[in-house]
Structure 1
Amino acid sequence: MNITITGASGFVGQNLAKYLKDYGNSVCALSLRNKNWNLDENANAIIHLAGKAHDTSNNSDSESYFKINRDLTIDIFKQFLASDARDFFYFSSVKAAADTVEGILEENFKADPQTAYGKSKLEAENYLIKQDLPAEKRLFIIRPCMIHGPGNKGNLNLLYKVVEKGIPWPLASFENHRSFLSIDNLNFLIWKMLQNKEVNSGIYNFADDHNLSTNDLVKIIADVSGKRLRLWKVNTSLISNFAKIGDIVNLPINSERLKKLTESYMVSNMKIKTVLKIDHLPVSAKEGIEKTIKSFQK
């Protein structure tokens, strides 16, 4: 199969390209930074990963999200419709549906994002859905939750540094449950969807099978690192006020980062598992986190 990937130089793109190549596919990396870009005329599928990620420091210009996440997606989808390619995967985000979730997020949730990032992703989704899709083509809108794996930096790396240095985790009083997505499970799902011609166009959440709390993460990190588990239950109001100071001055914790570390955000993956007729994903949530943490030690 000939597969074109945009954003192939990123964390997801590099891992997915290697995974697909290992299964005998030909992968073409398409850089949208080149103004004269064009789709490979031999492509059977386009996986559109390129986009502007959510800036937790809140320093990004709002319009830049729409130019990249919405407008570029529209441009490449137009070429897809004019091509002989069968499948188009648009990597959106669960944040296109909601910034906060009560209960478990499913695909039929009425989307109401509040950030420029989420709104730009949703506007791209809405455009794609409204287009007339030829009967022989398929459109998959993928909404992954937080993706992690070896080589990926982010909040997990921040947690790792705290535990590895023996610093007590001061946010243990926050009780939460979050969904994560191992890069191994992401790769598995994309390949299964490409292979299975019975999968219909639509929106699909991607998440690991089970949720973890931030305290669970700290425990896993301590176990993998061989460090003593140190959980401090500091008053939540005190921590929140400290984070507000971080919004003004450059501190390791600001309100956005605190929210990411302590809020509950549970995502259902039942739709895609039901469609693919699988009971569970190959990598458990705990195994995926352990693999990521071990990579930080190298």
Structure 2
Amino acid sequence: MNSSPYPQKPLLLTGATGFIGRYLYQEAKAAGWPICAALRQNHALDIQKQIVVGNLTPQTNWSQAIKGIDYVIHLAARVHVMKDKASNPLKEFREINVYGTLNLARQAAQHGVKRFIYLSSIKVNGEKTTPGRPFTADDTSAPQDPYGISKAEAEIQLRQLAAETGLEVVIIRPPLVYGPGVKANFLSMMRWLDKGFPLPLGAIHNRRSLVALPNLVDLIITCLTHPAAANQTFLVSDNEDLSTTDLLRRMSNALGKPAWLLPIPVQWLEFTASLLGKKAVAQRLCSSLQLDIHKTQTLLNWTPPISVDEALQYTARHFRQV
């Protein structure tokens, strides 16, 4: 008799070669899930079953990848970039994140897939919060950039498809995700701290929610079979909001290096950043973005499995190894 708590039909994972996908693949595999990874091209990763479907487009044929599948985790997307060189970014984001996603979900419903987990973004809610008013999963969407708009539109289309077909849709909106292999600004900050550069970020008293990669992946796996997750939208975080200054100090501690943080007033930082054409960067460093994950915790009886400091130590160890 099979004693595994998981179904024998494999789950389909898109974006398996990305930052989140690689970790998710390993954790789901370790938990006993049989996994089929849908890839753009053949990949040398240690993936037990992979099917090449090509690019994520509104015309992609998913029939071979979806055959015999009960669960889909959809991570693949056109991701947010700071300096998008596309002539019409919103059109490009919609082509992949909205129409490409809907094409996959529609074919999944036609093939009898039970549940579709969609990794969205907190950018659907907006770019920043005011003191005492964190974002919630049930807020009215207020995306401010093409990426956020495309994610919000995809959510709307998925909910409509769920209502029409019975496909169970679960939407998860993470904030900034960090962990082993993190890139972009988070990696840059780690490099600056590791080299002992003085940073003018010692007097920022904002509050920002982040989510460690292991915590996000744990929630995604929880949502695969939890009965209360069906057709719900969840926010996720480490459940400890940090100021930029506090994050840098704790990151330095994880790296085993002193933090040289100069207490420059926020107004000066924002003024200087505007002169240098870096207003958006200053906004992310200085503004608040808090998430209320009470719904996630209550409905799913879920708690982030690791703390911020544990996650930073884990991230720092990987940083040291590469």
TM-score between both structures, scaled by the size of structure 2 = 0.85
Residue aligning to 1:258: 282
User: Gapped runs of 5+ residues in structure 2?
Assistant: 1-6, 40-52
State whether residues 81 and 133 of structure 1, in contact with CA within 8 Å, keep that contact through their aligned partners in structure 2. no
Change (3 A) 1:236 1:199: closer
Instruction: Give the deviation of 1:124 after TM superposition.
Output: 0.7
Letter in 1 for 2:127: D
2:26 alignment partner in structure 1 = 18
Are positions 1:287 and 2:310 aligned together?
yes
Which residue number corresponds to residue 83 of structure 2?
Answer: 57
Distance 2:162 2:304 in 1: 33
Cα separation, 1, equivalents of 2:11 and 2:215? 19
Secondary structure at the aligned position of 1:89 is classed as strand
SS in 2 for 1:80: helix
Deviation at 1:135, TM superposition (A): 7.8
Contact 2:62 2:104 in 1 (8 A): no
Instruction: Give the number of equivalent residue pairs.
Output: 291
Which range moved further: 227-236 or 266-275? 227-236
| 8 Å contact kept, 1:4–1:45 | yes
Matched, 1:66 2:90: no
Matching residue within 117, 139, 142 for 1:89: 117
Q: Give distance in 1, aligned partners of 2:84 and 2:146.
A: 10
Native 8 Å contact 1:185 1:282 kept in 2: yes
- Please give the secondary structure, in 1, of the residue aligned with 2:227: coil
Unaligned runs of at least 5 residues, structure 1: 248-253
Question: Match of 1:78?
Answer: 106
Distance 1:157 1:235 in 2: 24
In 2, are the aligned partners of 1:43 and 1:85 still within 8 Å (CA)?
Answer: yes
Percent of pairs identical after alignment? 27
Contact 2:28 2:221 in 1 (8 A): yes
Given that 2:207 and 2:290 are in contact with CA atoms closer than 8 Å, whether structure 1 keeps it comes out as yes
**TM superposition shift of 1:197:** 2.5
Question: Which fold has the larger relative contact order, with Cα–Cα distance below 8 Å and residues 6 or more apart in sequence?
Answer: 1
1:193, CA displacement in angstroms? 1.9
Query: What does 1:232-243 correspond to in 2, within 5 Å?
Result: 232-243=262-273
Distance 1:151 1:262 in 2: 25
Range that drifts further, 234-243 or 199-208: 234-243
Q: How does 1:189-204 map to 2 (within 5 A)?
A: 189-204=219-234
1:131 Cα deviation after fit: 2.5
Q: Which one of the candidate residues 190, 200, 204 is aligned to 1:170?
A: 200
In the TM superposition, what whole-angstrom CA distance separates every residue of 1:154-213 from its partner, at most 9, and x where no partner exists?
222111122111111202222111111111111211222223234331111111121111
* Aligned partner letter, 1:80: A
Counterpart of 2:156?
126
Residue matched to 1:7 = 15
Deviates more, 1:172-181 or 1:41-50: 172-181
Measure, in 2, the Cα distance between the counterparts of 1:51 and 1:37: 16
Measured at CA, do residues 178 and 132 of structure 1 come closer, stay the same or move farther in structure 2, by a change above 3 Å? closer
Please tell me whether residue 33 in structure 1 is matched to residue 48 in structure 2: no
Q: Does the 8 A contact of 2:62 with 2:107 survive in 1?
A: no
Shift of 1:29: 1.1
Quote how far apart the aligned CAs of 1:132 are.
4.7
Aligned match of 1:153: 183
Determine the C-alpha separation between the residues in 2 that align with 1:133 and 1:21. Answer: 31
TM-score, normalising length: structure 1:
0.91
CA distance in 2, matches of 1:20, 1:297: 26
Letter in 2 for 1:292: T
Q: Report the alpha carbon displacement of residue 153 of structure 1 after superposing the two structures with TM.
A: 1.2
Q: What is the deviation of 1:134? A: 6.5
Q: Confirm or deny: 8 A CA contact 1:99 1:114 kept in the other structure.
A: yes
Query: Do residues 268 (structure 1) and 303 (structure 2) align?
Result: no
RMSD of aligned alpha carbons? 1.9
1:44 maps onto 2:102 in alignment: no
Q: Is the 8 A contact 1:107 1:204 kept in 2?
A: yes
Per-residue deviation, residues 235-274 of structure 1 (Å, max 9, x unmatched)? 3333223323443xxxxxx222222222211112111211
1:41 positional shift: 1.0
Task: Classify the secondary structure of the residue corresponding to 1:266.
Answer: coil
